[in-house]
Amino acid sequence: MDKLIDKSQNSDFECQLEIDYEDDIPLIDIDDIKNTESFIRKIYAIKKSTWKHEDEIRLIFNNHGLKKFHFSAITGIYFGYKTDEKIKECFYNLFSNSDVKFYEVFPSNFKLDYRLINETKRKLKYNLNKFNFEILRSPRENRWEQIFEIYYKGNTDDEYEINEFVQAFKEKYCFKKSTLYLFNNKDVLSLLDVYPLNEKQLAQYDESTIHIEY
């Protein structure tokens, strides 16, 4: 979901709505017209209770048209049980280079259930598994970039190895412009949110840093 609402891809993203399922659809009155949030919820975020099984979330944008999204944001696709096999094959081909699971929905005991019918895998250029590393904390993000702090446990003197690791890491984890901070130990974690650093801390930070990739 974070990838779908990322404003670096679609600056017109407005809000994320979890659908309320009610037997009585409410009417829009003059107070709703004065209250933007209430107005949007009544129009876009209420459905009849018979649809409760969908557990739907809707994303609202300020402009019409197709939206950009990173391919890794799609992890599963569900087909109705009467979907033609040719249509399924089209989707398999479309997502042949993505990590996507395909499910078929079917009626079961007076409700809808689903089963896995296919799975595609992304073809990666680099093998990240051959590198020994640890992500020190959850990545920080802003509108323009992701920021990773990484403890790299491999050969820190091999520039070719470092560069290959950076490319492999970005291919696997990054979905927009990113900055990678590589350190040769994990003790530096205690310094990451300290500002300003004193002379001793600054020396420790400098000695711990082996690479910064923008």
Q: Using one digit for the tens of pLDDT, what is the confidence trace for 148-170? A: 999 999 999 999 999 999 999 99
* Cα-based distances in Å from 136 to 14, 97, 151, 162: 32, 29, 6, 17
For the cut 80, the answer to whether the pLDDT of residue 180 exceeds it is yes
Provide mean pLDDT across the span 198-204.
94
pTM of this prediction exceeds 0.75: no
Point out the domain boundary residue: 122, 143, 161. 122
What pLDDT, on a 0 to 100 scale, did the predictor assign at position 86? 97
Tell me the residue range of the domain where 20 lies. 1-70
Helix (H, G, I), strand (E, B) or coil at 183: strand
Residues 111 and 138 in one domain: no
The percent of residues in the chain predicted with pLDDT above 90, rounded, is 63
Residues 139 and 207 in one domain: yes
Q: What is the rounded distance in angstroms from the CA atom of residue 36 to the CA atom of residue 16?
A: 14
Q: What is the rounded distance in angstroms from the CA atom of residue 56 to the CA atom of residue 59?
A: 10
* Higher local confidence (pLDDT), 141 or 92: 92
* Higher local confidence (pLDDT), 26 or 95: 95
